Amino acid sequence: MKTLQLVIGGALLAVLSTPALAQTAPPAPPKDGIKPIAEVRVRYEGVERDAPLTDADAVTTRLRLGFEARKGAWSVLTEGEGVVALGDDYNDTNAANGVEPFAVIADPANLELNRLQVQYRTAPLTVTIGRQRINLDDQRFVGSVGWRQSEQTFDAVRAEGVLGRVKLDVAYSNAQRTIFGVDAGPRESFDGDFVFLGAGLVAGPVTLKAFGYLLDFEEAIQFGNSSDTFGLRATGAIPLPGHAPITVAASYARQTDAGSNPGNYAADYLSLDLGTTVAGFAVNVGYELLGADSGRSFQTPLASLHKFNGWADVFLTTPAQGLQDVYVSVGRRFPSVTALPGLNALVAYHDFTSDVGGRDYGTEWNAQIGYKPGKFGVVAKYAEYQADGFSGDVQKVWLQLEWAL
């Protein structure tokens, strides 16, 4: 652990010591008028895993419709979301469908009001009130879970301000609107007091941010996720003369029990991601720790979890002994293939171990290929988790077509 902390410290020192880069111009303000919202996504997901669960197959279609009306600094946005399941050979997680032998694919049929918000937006201040999408940083702690067909949103008030090089972000939410849909019973929405705090400083090529996430759930089934998390995040780039720069993203956080959490623990979070471009290939290597203490582990119940620790979704809940994830990914875009505009591919490998107890969990391969003809997007993904003492072997495949206005 001390060696890793020294590596992170050295990387951040190198970032902070580099000369300032040119500042990018702020985006142009939105135009007045009414902007329609229309999105369609069709997806096949197949899951093969060890017994006792039966393999699962799901074909689902999602439709979003709405509009945003803007006048000056004010806007109103409303958006409905519907998901149709073509077939029932999968466990959508909702008990109302009965006990199912199939593996989980968390895309239940659904029809809901996804977003309804009023926003005041100027250059120094943005205030948003209502049911809204909140994505903070890389979505490791708070996100919209965009990969799943139903989105996670929050009934919240959020204020974002800019004071010179300082960016402030404060939000309060009293309800987490989950991905499980209107037939999920008490899991449709979790009430509580959720406070998101962020203060960032742009210092040349590096951005520093202090954050705090205070979660106090009202439902008993979520008491174990009530927690206070405080941490620091740094992102930037290290220029290398004659070579592509090295990007750096590093975070540290400390989480303790809060509210009605029956546990008594203090666990650490640590991550470091280094990336660069070599011969046209984007290469990233990284390490992530979700620590454990007194039989409890670091949890991020509001995160976009599919983005982290492998696409097989084996570690959506951090094991009691914690989790260490060492990974490498290689990706490339192919602009010369004009017949497939936006063609891109990526391969990633993860090695998972525990934080305490020296336990091996398993390894995972991920692969993805996609392209974007016009307003359409086509994606194929694959994940294979090979268990080594934790859970069972899992294979998943996705084929997806989407269109957005």
Q: What is the mean pLDDT of the chain?
A: 92
* DSSP for residue 94: -
pLDDT digits (tens, 9 = 90+) for 231-247: 999 999 999 998 899 99
Beta-carbon-side half-sphere exposure of residue 297 (alpha carbons within 13 Å):
19
Nearest 5°: the CA angle 350, 351, 355 is: 125
* Residue labelled with tokens 């003369």: 241
pTM of the prediction?
0.91
Res 128: pLDDT? 98
Stretch 353-364: mean pLDDT, rounded?
Answer: 97
Is the bond preceding residue 108 a cis peptide, omega within 30 degrees?
no
SS3 4: helix
| Token pair listed for 143 | 């996100």
Q: How far apart are CA 247 and CA 338, in angstroms?
A: 29
Q: Is the pLDDT of residue 29 over 90?
A: no
**Exposed / middle / buried, residue 278 (Cβ in 10 Å: 0-12, 13-18, 19+):** exposed
pLDDT digits (tens, 9 = 90+) for 65-119: 999 999 999 999 999 999 999 988 999 998 766 557 899 999 999 999 999 999 9
H-type helices in 177-234, by residue range? none
pLDDT digits (tens, 9 = 90+) for 114-171: 999 999 999 999 999 999 999 999 999 999 999 999 999 999 999 999 999 999 999 9
Res 195: pLDDT? 98
* DSSP for residue 73: T
Instruction: Please state, as a whole number, how many other Cβ atoms lie within 10 Å of the Cβ of residue 24.
Output: 6
